[in-house]
Amino acid sequence: MKQLLVLITFFVCTGFLAAQENWQPLFNGKDLSGFQILGGEADYTFADGILTGITKSSTPNTFLATEKIYGDFILEFSVNIEYRMNSGVQFRSNINEKNGRVFGYQCEIETSGRKWAGGIYDEGRRGWLYPLSHNKRGQNAFKNGTWNHYRIEACGSQIRTWVNGIPCANLVDELTSTGFIAFQVHDIGDYAQGGQLVQWKDIRILTENVKASMLDSDIFEISYLKNQLTEYEKRTGWRLLWDGQTTKGWRSAQSAEFPTKGWTMKNGILAVEKATGGESQNGGDIITVEQFSNFELIVDFKISQGANSGIKYFVQPELNKGVGSAIGLEFQILDNKQHPDAKNGLNGNRTLGALYDLMPPKNLTESNRDDIRYKQNQFNRARIVVKNGCVEHWLNDIKIVEYDRFSQIFETLVGHSKYKDIKSFGQFPAGHILLQDHGDFVEFKSIKIREFSF
């Protein structure tokens, strides 16, 4: 028995040591060999095992990038940054040879009151992919004025982060599978003197048996897979509302059949065609065959220049059998800069993301800014959450509208809107979900839903 325990201990220990030996330092411990500076002209030094980045006035974002390209890996490091500074670590990143711009995934390092350290930003490309708006515990993981330990896991389409042992981001995205790792010194413009420091130490990487070494993380997942569900989504009740190929589950708002014109399905994109710009005058609106009461809906949409459309819910198609769109609560889709309806209504209640003609959008997630985060010429994500009377609109994972559809305030808003003569408007127990034909070209994809029971 004693010999057996010795053998078990030996194999466990040698296995542990072998696993430990798979970790490699990212730096050689002496200098910056194997790295190159990209983007700006900020300075970097390496001494006593500490990499130091030093801000410089009037230079763009600067990146100290590995010459080596990495695919799947686990990266760990500790970072200390001066208060009010912003930085990040790039991974699976590349450089645009035409303009020298670094682009790719970035794990955020920041000290602001927003508290998104550990979130994932897509530098030079799509902007925020995983803000910490859904992760209150993660928002408090980073501590100002001291060393903070980071862990980044990238394996296939799965990207996860931890700060001080607390899971912060859980992203699924397959846009880029390989690239360099880089340490950012953020642009400070010409309004501040340089000389502020961001420092990294204990920087190590694991590139073998990555999947087997990944930690468990079951925090809120954000997936950008096109018309696919992840295992997490399946486990938490999500299902595709559009299968990415057929008309199954959808019909015209005016009949039991899908429109014979005005809508296309190609390469996983559901698109309403450009026509006269009139409301429901080409193929017409489409609605779900099913009706929904309590749900969370995600729709990725892309607006053409000057376009108008909308996502409606609690739709009652029988309320309008004539010209125009079916009746329901609406997440407005609009090119605010080019479409005149943005200036109509009251206080912006017809702009992008608004509860149409009732409530304007406002950044309710970031206390330090008022504008909503819209991505020009890209797919944006609408998220609508309905739990009994409580309703939320989210745009790119930023909450922009919240209201109680059974409240007196809501009834007052309806009483001063175009819906004032519709009895029980917005308070129906269930309704269809609608994608609007407003005569402008708009694309949709990755339409998914999960229902709640109370």
pLDDT of residue 105: 98
DSSP assignment string, 413-430: HHHTSTTTTSTTTT--S-
pLDDT at residue 335 greater than cutoff 50: yes
In the chain, the domains with their CATH numbers are 23-223 (2.60.120.560), 243-451 (2.60.120.560)
Q: Can you list the positions of beta strands (E) in 348-397?
A: 380-387, 390-395
Sign, CA dihedral 233-239-242-243, equals positive
pLDDT of residue 19: 47
pLDDT of residue 20: 53
Residue 404 gets the label, from left (phi > 0), alpha (psi -120 to 50) or beta, of: beta
Going across the sheet that includes 62-66, the strands are 35-39, 62-66, 180-185, 86-95, 102-110, 120-123, 127-130
Q: Can you read off the two tokens belonging to residue 381?
A: 């994500």
Contact of 284 with 311, CB cutoff 8 Å: no
> How far apart (Å, rounded) are the C-alpha atoms in residues 373 and 282?
31
pLDDT of residue 281: 78
Contact of 374 with 335, CB cutoff 8 Å: no
Q: Can you read off the two tokens belonging to residue 348?
A: 């912006």
> How far apart (Å, rounded) are the C-alpha atoms in residues 413 and 421?
12
pLDDT at residue 321 greater than cutoff 80: no
User: What does each C-alpha distance from 26 to 177, 296, 389 come to in angstroms?
Assistant: 19, 42, 52
Average pLDDT, the chain: 93
CA angle 273, 279, 281 (to 5 degrees): 65
pLDDT of residue 2: 46
Average pLDDT (176-197) is 92
Q: pLDDT confidence of 118, banded at 50, 70, 90?
A: very high
> How far apart (Å, rounded) are the C-alpha atoms in residues 111 and 163?
13
Q: pLDDT confidence of 9, banded at 50, 70, 90?
A: very low
Q: Which amino acid is at 148?
A: N
DSSP assignment string, 309-329: EEEEEEEEGGG--SSSPPEEE
pLDDT at residue 6 greater than cutoff 50: no
Q: What are phi and psi of 13, to 5 degrees?
A: -65, -45
pLDDT of residue 276: 84
pLDDT of residue 319: 87
Q: What are phi and psi of 313, to 5 degrees?
A: -145, 160
pLDDT digits (tens, 9 = 90+) for 15-68: 444 445 599 999 999 999 999 999 999 999 999 999 999 999 999 999 999 999
pLDDT of residue 219: 95
Average pLDDT (282-291) is 96
Helix (H, G, I), strand (E, B) or coil at 211: helix
Where is pLDDT greater, at 412 or 367?
412
Sign, CA dihedral 156-159-161-166, equals negative
Least Cα distance to 53 among 89, 95, 92, 99 occurs for 89
pLDDT at residue 177 greater than cutoff 70: yes
Average pLDDT (296-311) is 97
pLDDT digits (tens, 9 = 90+) for 237-262: 999 999 999 999 999 999 999 999 99
Contact of 104 with 90, CB cutoff 8 Å: yes
Average pLDDT (339-364) is 96
Q: Can you read off the two tokens belonging to residue 259?
A: 């429109």
CA angle 236, 333, 419 (to 5 degrees): 100
Residue ranges of the alpha helices (H) in 65-140? Answer: 136-139
pLDDT at residue 12 greater than cutoff 80: no
> How far apart (Å, rounded) are the C-alpha atoms in residues 153 and 133?
20
pLDDT of residue 325: 86
Q: pLDDT confidence of 189, banded at 50, 70, 90?
A: confident
Q: Can you list the positions of beta strands (E) in 113-220?
A: 120-123, 127-130, 148-155, 158-163, 166-172, 180-185, 197-206
pLDDT of residue 280: 77
Q: Classify residue 47 by burial, with Cβ atoms within 10 Å: 0-12, 13-18, 19+.
A: exposed
pLDDT of residue 384: 98
